[in-house]
Amino acid sequence: MNSNQITLNQLPIGKKAIVASLTSAGITRRRILDLGIIDGTEIEPLYKSPSGNPVAYLIRGAVIALRSDVSDRIIVSMS
């Protein structure tokens, strides 16, 4: 992981980033890929629930909520 790369759950609300890699495997990886979260995808956190989990993300024009255990497995590059 580069110095400008962080996990998705560390990305501040309103800050856009590009997906660099996935560190998950198995069913979780398949679900992430099925949602369109692949290398090079732009992603932006929009809203955080009152408890902080899940967070709503803008991904390919759709708003998708991800729990922190899933977003922790997505590495993004900040621009």
3-state SS class at 52: coil
Q: Residue 66 is part of which domain span?
A: 5-78
Compute CA distances 47 → 3, 43, 68, whole Å.
Answer: 25, 13, 13
Question: pLDDT tens digit string along 41-51?
Answer: 999 999 998 88
Q: Is the pLDDT of residue 79 over 70?
A: no
Take residue 28 and report the two structure tokens written for it: 């979780």
**Which CATH number covers residue 19?**
2.30.30.90
Where residue 39 falls (left for φ over 0; alpha for ψ -120 to 50; beta otherwise) is beta
Beta bridge partners of 33: none
Name the domain count of the chain: 1
Q: pTM for this one?
A: 0.88
